[in-house]
Structure 1
Amino acid sequence: MKPMPDKMARLFEINRSLTQSLNLEVILPQLVQDAFRLINNADTTILYTLREDGLLHFSHGVGVDEEHMKQVKFKPGESLTGQVFLSKEGVVVQGDEFREYMETMSEENYSHFLKGVFHREIKSGIVIPLLYNEDCIGVLVVDNFDKDVQFTEEEYQLLEVVADQAAIAIMNSKLYQEVKRKNEELSYSLEIHHRFTKILLEGRGASFILETISNILQTPVEYSEDQPDAGFTFPIINANELYGYFTLQKPIESLSTIDKAALEHAATALSLEIVKRNTLFEKELHEIEEQFHDLLNGSRMKRGALRKFSLDEDSRVICMIIDSKSAPIWESHTMLQKEKLVRSLKQIVSRFCKTQVIFTKADQMVVLMAGEIKRLETLAEELRGAIQINHSIAIGIGREVSIQELSQSYREATEAAAYCKKLKGKTYVTYSELGAERLWLNTDQNLLDKFVSDKLGALFKMEKEYRETLQTFITENKSHKKTAELLHIHPNTLTYRLRKVESNLGIDLNKNEDWINMVLAFQIYYYLKC
């Protein structure tokens, strides 16, 4: 039997030893040793602590085979240790009770536990929960393998005091380690911040930002405007606007907190670099618009300025206007949408024309093309496909003119786009394909309304069948046979209807002037109706 020391002195000594360090690797072994020395009849002392996986893991022990005990992981409620963890109440038990609770152990835990205590049979024991703020953070166990020894209530109370002191010491240590960890993360985060700030100040560019974050994370990091795989991408956001994504070769969730913080710093740096690039892009667009402003308004452009765009005074150009039939092509509050759109258009146009200039004017895109232009209609279709994601667009294409007559092609493209906006199901119109429509594109709408009213007003007061009859007769270019067939009426009925229309309108469809007026009136009517 061990000699009985002064118990109170030992408790003070234990308390002092537990407060001398904040390192768990020092505190926990010391706790187990002190508990072992405090209880005279202790053959083993074992400390189990709760881990993040929700299991009670062997932490330290005296009188056991630690290699085997490290394999023991009790679920809450498993064995007497797990039961005390759940109930949060300590117990003094005898061997029979121990054996009953051991039957609740998993096969693996049972095997490792027996090997850990060298296959000895437990005769009595004290099992105490480590409680902190009503939460159980671990369990302290003292076992005896001598059948003639029984633990006393005094020893239980002593061990309970030790457990309370230990719980406080453990939590203080964890809190200290958490504060230390956060300070280290903050220090590292500031270091990363300074690295990326230096990159921005030195103007090293986006590629160096990507290289730096790749080195920090020890994995390749690339930039993507789109989101290929949500699990492997990290959004780059600044001022509530999405600038793209970092793409990694491992899941974002696998990164540590400090690595995610590094990604945040890199994202901020890259977003600022993108803002800088966009600012230069907007400046370039504005300069191009200013340089072509005089040409678009009928003035000449200096030869040196033309050469910047691979043009000269002998160049022949076509102007194309891209507009939207509804909402603007790009949203003014988004910084990158216009830039992405212009770069996409340049890429498409370059496949059809070697020399091109693209800039914006108000809410429209202006495309100037020079030299040999391949498949103009195909180009318009590809532009429609690139832009018309959320918008119905209208493309107007002017005629080919000399560079000094650019204002004429620009005006034609503008008028063609305006006309295209009125047409359903059509996304582009070339000015050269317009017929009489050219005459009223710039005519005051009130005059057009009056012309339609004067020529067709009486017809609109008649039954609907008379308007359909005249419209079909005009569409079929005065063919009585085709008109009757399309309307499914007898030729005599057609003749009757036409004569009644002529009578009500005071016209003679055989006279060229009256015929032309009817054709124009219907064309203007449907133009205004669009």
Structure 2
Amino acid sequence: MQDTLTHRQLKSLIQVSNVINSKLDIDTIFDSIMNETISVVEAAGGGSIWIFDKNQNRLIAKSAQGLFYPHIFRQIELVSGESMTGISFAAKKCLIFWDEVEIKQALSTLTPYNRDLLDRAIPSNFHFTSVISSPILQKGKCIGVITLDSFEQSLQFKQEDINLLEAIGHQAAIALEKSSLYYEKEKTVRMLSHSIEIHRNLANLVVNGEGIQSIMNFIHKTIGQHMFLFNEIGELKASACHSSFSVEMTEYITQYTKQIILTLENSHTVSDITLNDETYQIVVLSLGSKLKSLGGLIILSKQKMSEVDIAALEHACTIISLELVKEQAVFETQQRLRGEFVTKLFSGQMDEALIQKAKNLNFDPNRTYVAMIINFEDKLNEQKVLGEHVLRNLLHMSNKTLLGRNSQVMAVRVENQIVALLSFHSRVPSSNIVAEIKELGKNLQQEIINKYREIDVSIGIGRIKQGLTFVHESFVEANKCIKFLKNYLFDHRVLSYTDLGVQRFILQNSKEELNDFIQEVLGPLIQYEQSRKGELLSTLIVYLDQNQNIKKTADSLHIHTNTLSYRLKRIEEILATDLNDSQPLFNIHLAINIYQCIKAKDTLQKNKS
């Protein structure tokens, strides 16, 4: 090589080597190489260095020096085989284009867009007279091209110029490899430093007891992207978004993420989604471990997130997971202690120790109390049993709804039920308390149904009791409401014990006793109906519903009053009674109510089977 290079070119090659060894910024190195090469190659009026971008599948100009407009020239992006540079790249060897004819033929491969850029980059009074393009090879693979351009007819490239360009191409390959190693190390250090800084700040938040939402707000402020935290069943636990992110978009992300969370296997996944005609990158990072998932952290970004940010977020997930485990442990301990208290309280075993425990839990023994039972059944599951995660989430929902209106509430899980103790000041009117609790129950029921359509929710509410000493009676009454809702058709699935009238009589007696009573009072009429298929029993029911008003009953049945009078007379004959006598009429009214409830229960059980 030394025999074919001039003394000046050898000095230039040494200078290029010194630049590579003294600098790490690849753009600076390329500019220095290009300037040095043009200065020692007499025929070169300009030149460029092109590097192949794998992602774009294009040759990108990294340096452009000489008698043209580099800011325009560097917008050109070449495919393999396009122009002199692309032809050399495809051939993986140094090529020289000796005259304008060869150059014109090579330039004909340019796309119209690239040709327009080239024409605007080269002044109109300049023309290529000859061109050298030499590949940059790394381990036998072409990774770029160095191109020198001549604009003078009197100046021609020489063999030593080709040799120099090949040697510089080798030096450029070394520079790229060295720069790549440097930037990889720098990126690793930067990534580690960034992660450590985030980790340190998050750890401080945890130590100071800031909680999950503060952690989410910090990360959101740090990376500037929309963030969502979902639990292990895909329920949204916390979020931190810009104000532009709408409720509808949040609901869409919740539905989208629910499917991913349940099947997430890797530490993180990256994909693209479209929201409101805008494309976002969505990064899903798992929380917890494969053996025990705690959910996922979701980041929604309009820009592609760097590996540094994702690595930092993975470190952040460790802190979030620890905080979730801590919250869960605290919550379970509270639930165990409260569960023991409620179980003993509702058993009626009141003593001084229990009263003291109530005071420790901020429950005044002299306030007014009401018991509420929320019962759940999975309509899609034959065993009607709900999963542990779902029950835990239902408990969170119940606590949130009930605490929203009352500062003194305790809700605990008991198998497939949530048992709640609500406290009110003794000066609050009973009618207000009943109305408020029923409204709370309906709101909670609707919220649960909206989120879990497969769950059947029944809510039983006991009567108001003065002081903790008698609160177990309210619990028994709430339980009777749940029992009634399970066995009988009722218009609403939120039932207060005060709503029950004759139904209390039903709950306190066996089905055999109830049927005996019905037969004693209505037996002859029921038998008559079964044998004749008449309308007397239904007429009696409507007559009693209309408070024995002849005209209203006739209108309701769409019959003449004479027809109604005949039917009523026939009923009295069959039952051997007088419908104007208050005592037998009371028994008939009671029997009718019980008969309808039992009939509705039989229909309900038949439908379930």
State TM-score, norm by structure 1: 0.76
Query: Following superposition of structure 1 onto structure 2, how do residues 84-483 of structure 1 map, counting pairs within 5 Å?
Result: 84=87, 90=95, 92-96=97-101, 98=103, 101=107, 104=112, 105=114, 109-114=118-123, 120-130=126-136, 137-151=143-157, 158=163, 161-162=166-167, 165=170, 168-169=173-174, 172-173=177-178, 175-177=180-182, 179-185=184-190, 187-188=192-193, 191-192=196-197, 195=200, 198-199=203-204, 202=207, 204-206=209-211, 209=215, 213=219, 217=223, 225-226=238-239, 229=245, 237-239=286-288, 240-242=293-295, 251=301, 253=303, 255-302=305-352, 303-324=355-376, 326=378, 332-334=388-390, 337-338=393-394, 340-350=396-406, 355-362=408-415, 363-371=417-425, 372=428, 374=432, 376-391=434-449, 392-402=456-466, 403-421=468-486, 422-445=488-511, 448=514, 455=523, 456=526, 459-460=529-530, 463=533, 465=535, 468-483=538-553
In the TM superposition, what is the alpha-carbon distance from 1:408 to its structure 2 partner? 0.8
Instruction: Work out the CA distance in 1 between the residues paired with 2:508 and 2:296.
Output: 42
Sort the Cα spacing of 1:245 and 1:186 in 2 relative to 1 into closer, same or farther, 3 A: closer
In the TM superposition, what is the alpha-carbon distance from 1:438 to its structure 2 partner? 0.6
In the TM superposition, what is the alpha-carbon distance from 1:192 to its structure 2 partner? 4.4
Opposite residue 485 of structure 1, the aligned amino acid is D
Of 213-222 and 337-346, more deviation after overlay is shown by 213-222
Deviation digits for residues 107-137 of structure 1 (CA, Å, limit 9, x no counterpart): 555334439xxx5432111234546689764
Query: Following superposition of structure 1 onto structure 2, how do residues 501-512 of structure 1 map, counting pairs within 5 Å?
Result: 508=577, 510=579, 511-512=584-585
Instruction: Work out the CA distance in 2 between the residues paired with 1:464 and 1:85.
Output: 103
In the TM superposition, what is the alpha-carbon distance from 1:41 to its structure 2 partner? 3.7
Opposite residue 481 of structure 2, the aligned amino acid is A
Q: Find the counterpart in structure 2 of residue 75 from structure 1.
A: 77
Q: Find the counterpart in structure 2 of residue 49 from structure 1.
A: 51
Decide whether the 8 Å contact of 2:369 with 2:423 is kept in 1. Answer: yes
Helix, strand or coil for the counterpart of 2:303? helix
Decide whether the 8 Å contact of 1:330 with 1:337 is kept in 2. Answer: no
Sort the Cα spacing of 1:82 and 1:33 in 2 relative to 1 into closer, same or farther, 3 A: closer
Decide whether the 8 Å contact of 1:14 with 1:34 is kept in 2. Answer: no
Deviation digits for residues 180-216 of structure 1 (CA, Å, limit 9, x no counterpart): 2453255336634762685488465437746864785
Instruction: Work out the CA distance in 1 between the residues paired with 2:221 and 2:394.
Output: 33
Instruction: Work out the CA distance in 2 between the residues paired with 1:457 and 1:157.
Output: 117
Instruction: Work out the CA distance in 1 between the residues paired with 2:142 and 2:516.
Output: 90
| CA RMSD after TM alignment | 4.9
Decide whether the 8 Å contact of 2:17 with 2:171 is kept in 1. Answer: no
In the TM superposition, what is the alpha-carbon distance from 1:221 to its structure 2 partner? 8.9
In the TM superposition, what is the alpha-carbon distance from 1:407 to its structure 2 partner? 1.1
Deviation digits for residues 276-301 of structure 1 (CA, Å, limit 9, x no counterpart): 12321232232223223332111214
State TM-score, norm by structure 2: 0.67
In the TM superposition, what is the alpha-carbon distance from 1:242 to its structure 2 partner? 3.9
In the TM superposition, what is the alpha-carbon distance from 1:304 to its structure 2 partner? 2.5
Instruction: Work out the CA distance in 2 between the residues paired with 1:496 and 1:158.
Output: 125
Instruction: Work out the CA distance in 2 between the residues paired with 1:410 and 1:10.
Output: 98
Q: Find the counterpart in structure 2 of residue 5 from structure 1.
A: 5
Opposite residue 125 of structure 1, the aligned amino acid is V
Helix, strand or coil for the counterpart of 1:60? strand
In the TM superposition, what is the alpha-carbon distance from 1:71 to its structure 2 partner? 4.0
* Number of aligned residue pairs: 514
Deviation digits for residues 77-100 of structure 1 (CA, Å, limit 9, x no counterpart): 698356537855755142355467
In the TM superposition, what is the alpha-carbon distance from 1:59 to its structure 2 partner? 2.8
Unpaired runs of 5+ residues, structure 1, are: none
In the TM superposition, what is the alpha-carbon distance from 1:409 to its structure 2 partner? 1.1
Helix, strand or coil for the counterpart of 1:253? coil
Helix, strand or coil for the counterpart of 1:142? strand
Decide whether the 8 Å contact of 1:318 with 1:398 is kept in 2. Answer: yes
Q: Find the counterpart in structure 2 of residue 28 from structure 1.
A: 30
Deviation digits for residues 230-264 of structure 1 (CA, Å, limit 9, x no counterpart): 669987752444477789xxx46365432333233
Opposite residue 442 of structure 2, the aligned amino acid is R
Deviation digits for residues 314-337 of structure 1 (CA, Å, limit 9, x no counterpart): 433222223346568985225862
Decide whether the 8 Å contact of 1:348 with 1:383 is kept in 2. Answer: no
Sort the Cα spacing of 1:131 and 1:30 in 2 relative to 1 into closer, same or farther, 3 A: same
Of 313-322 and 79-88, more deviation after overlay is shown by 79-88
Instruction: Work out the CA distance in 2 between the residues paired with 1:437 and 1:244.
Output: 50
Unpaired runs of 5+ residues, structure 2, are: 230-236, 251-279, 450-455, 605-609
Decide whether the 8 Å contact of 2:49 with 2:145 is kept in 1. Answer: yes
Helix, strand or coil for the counterpart of 2:49? strand
Deviation digits for residues 22-51 of structure 1 (CA, Å, limit 9, x no counterpart): 943575356546755886643433213345
Aligned sequence identity (%): 18
Of 229-238 and 371-380, more deviation after overlay is shown by 229-238
Decide whether the 8 Å contact of 2:5 with 2:160 is kept in 1. Answer: no
In the TM superposition, what is the alpha-carbon distance from 1:306 to its structure 2 partner? 3.4
Of 405-414 and 162-171, more deviation after overlay is shown by 162-171
Decide whether the 8 Å contact of 2:48 with 2:64 is kept in 1. Answer: yes
Sort the Cα spacing of 1:343 and 1:225 in 2 relative to 1 into closer, same or farther, 3 A: farther
Of 214-223 and 331-340, more deviation after overlay is shown by 214-223
